[in-house]
Each structure stands twice: as C-alpha cells, then as structure tokens.
Structure 1
Amino acid sequence: MEKKTVLFVCSFNSVRSQIAEGLLNARCNTRYLAYSAGVAPAGLNPYAVSVMREIGIDISSQRSKKLEIFHGVHFDYVITMCDGVKQAVTGSIPEGATILHRTFVSPSETRKDKAEILADFRKLRDKINDWLGEIFPDCPDALQE
C-alpha cells in the first residue's frame, strides 16, 4: 500500500504545523507521510519540541521550511492551520489534493511564566491530536499509546 502524503502549512512553520507533522508521522507512519512548511519560516519552537517529547515523540530533527520548496510536489492532502496561510496556498496547491483547513491559535509566549506557556502548548498539541483523529480516523491516537 502506497503512503498518502500530507502537507501541513501555517505562517511560521514553528509550532502548529510542526506539531501536526510529528503527530501524524507518529500516529500513522505506515499509511501517511507528513511534511510541514510555512509562508515565513521562523525556526522550530523549543516549547513545541518539549511538549511533543512529553508524549514520546521527538520532533527536534524537524526543520522549519519555506512553502516554496514544495512547489510542484504532489500531496494527497494540504492542510492549512491558520487563516493567513489559507489564502497564500490557494494558487499553489496541486490538482487532486484534498484541501482541509482549521485555524489553531499559536500559543503566546509573552507575559507568561514557563509553566503557563507549557500548559498552552500542551492544550494546542492535544487539540491538534484530537482533530487529526477526526480527519484520519484510521490512525491510532498518539496520546493514548
């Protein structure tokens, strides 16, 4: 069985799309191959790495990538994760791709202590994980294993 390919896209490819890539690859690497990209890549957020490590998923080797590097690459699914990006990818999605969108607000790191920031990142991780279970029901839950 050939793996289906999935591209998660958000503005900076530092949190939301990185978490989604890590979760889907951990949940269902026999059926899907996930990638992520951003319109203006800003580097992998260390809090995203931390909250993923808490559930046994290491995303520390993932890199923040510019959407343009995937120009011309066919994906079975292109999933936008914030409103600003939804418009940016519209013209560059290959024919045949299933396009999905859900806005996830990236956690703020301003005026909070480390415990509050980590709590916000955990909530985001769990929301993304739950949503992935809805759109890819054939994959086991990464948080329950």
Structure 2
Amino acid sequence: MKPAVKNRPQSVLFACTLNTVRSPIAEALGRHFFGKGIYFASAGVKRGESDGFAVAVMEEIGVDMTKHHPHDFEDLEDSSFDLIVTLSPEAHHKALEFTRTLATEVIYWPTLDPTAVEGSRERILDAYRGVRDSLLQRIKQLLDYQPMGNL
C-alpha cells in the first residue's frame, strides 16, 4: 500500500459552466487514476445535457462516463470540499460565492470549451481529446500521481 501524499486533498470538486464536458471529464479522470483514495465530484453553474463526444473520448482511454448526469452546485449533497478546481470563468465566480463562508481552496484552470469548436467530427473529437489530455496531465501533477508499480 502506498503512503498518503502529504497535503493531498481528500475531496475535490471540479466545476465548469454546464457540467457536460470539462468538469465530468475531470471527475472521471480523478476517479479512474486515484480510485477511492480521494472523493471526486463535479458540478456546473447550470445543468446542461449529456455530451456524446465527451463520453466517446473517455471511452477511448477505458473510462466509462455513460452514467454521468449533469447537475449544478445546488444539487451537491455535500458542500464541504478540500479543493474546488474551476474550469470556466463562470464556474470560478460561482465557486467563490459558494465557498465565501467555508475554508475551501479554489483554483482556476482556464480550459477550452470544446463545444465551441466547429468542423469535421474528427476535428471536434481532437478538441475534446486535447481537453481530456490537458486535464489528465494537470490532475496528475496537482495530486502527485504515482503509478502503483513505482512503490
């Protein structure tokens, strides 16, 4: 068993505008790579509709997002998170308002909204892959990911 990383948050909320692409991808990546060692959740400023491209690019790396249902901050069962990572300006403002009376760290990672990309299916998928890969790299760095084989 791996020793716990000092100062690693025990609960992380990822937030974006609609909780359809960026924040659910980040939540799913966190769960996939960190298992039950950290509690992950996601929310949007507003509740959007599930996004098939997000599901598809996660499926490419073996992560199932088909059970994700978008929800907003008001839908959260628990408001106490050690860390909130915001992925859009709207989500950042909402998170600051949400935590004004809490001792929760809020950080902002400006992240492309791939739904704004136009063109062929492959071009759109490439934008989603870019978001997925960028979030994965940042999450691993933030939480000091160490593969189980490197004990």
Same-fold call, TM > 0.5? yes
C-alpha contact 2:118 2:124 (8 A) present in aligned 1: no
- What is the 5 A alignment of 1:86-125? 86-93=92-99, 95-108=102-115, 111-125=118-132
Q: CA deviation at 1:88?
A: 1.6
SS class of match (2:114) = coil
Letter in 1 for 2:126: A
Q: CA deviation at 1:43?
A: 1.8
CA deviation map 1:11-47 (0-9, x unaligned): 0111000100000000001311111000111122110
Query: For the structure 1 residues 51 and 71, does the alpha-carbon distance in structure 2 shift closer, same or farther, using more than 3 Å as the test?
Result: same
Return the alpha-carbon distance in structure 2 between the equivalents of residues 61 and 139 of structure 1.
Answer: 27
Consecutive unaligned residues of structure 2, counting only runs of 5 or more, are none
Query: For the structure 1 residues 72 and 60, does the alpha-carbon distance in structure 2 shift closer, same or farther, using more than 3 Å as the test?
Result: closer
Q: CA deviation at 1:61?
A: 0.3
Measured on the aligned residues, the alpha-carbon RMSD in Å equals 2.1
2:74 is equivalent to residue 85 of structure 1: no
Letter in 2 for 1:53: E
Which residue of structure 2 lines up, in the alignment, with residue 126 of structure 1?
133
Return the alpha-carbon distance in structure 2 between the equivalents of residues 79 and 133 of structure 1.
Answer: 13
2:13 is equivalent to residue 7 of structure 1: yes
Return the alpha-carbon distance in structure 2 between the equivalents of residues 140 and 98 of structure 1.
Answer: 26
C-alpha contact 1:24 1:132 (8 A) present in aligned 2: yes
Return the alpha-carbon distance in structure 1 between the equivalents of residues 86 and 117 of structure 2.
Answer: 25
Return the alpha-carbon distance in structure 2 between the equivalents of residues 98 and 66 of structure 1.
Answer: 19
SS class of match (2:24) = helix
Which residue of structure 2 lines up, in the alignment, with residue 73 of structure 1?
79
2:67 is equivalent to residue 61 of structure 1: yes
Return the alpha-carbon distance in structure 2 between the equivalents of residues 105 and 119 of structure 1.
Answer: 12
Q: CA deviation at 1:53?
A: 0.4
Letter in 1 for 2:88: C
Query: For the structure 1 residues 11 and 109, does the alpha-carbon distance in structure 2 shift closer, same or farther, using more than 3 Å as the test?
Result: closer
Which residue of structure 2 lines up, in the alignment, with residue 136 of structure 1?
143
C-alpha contact 2:80 2:104 (8 A) present in aligned 1: yes
Query: For the structure 1 residues 45 and 81, does the alpha-carbon distance in structure 2 shift closer, same or farther, using more than 3 Å as the test?
Result: same
TM, length-normalised to structure 2: 0.84
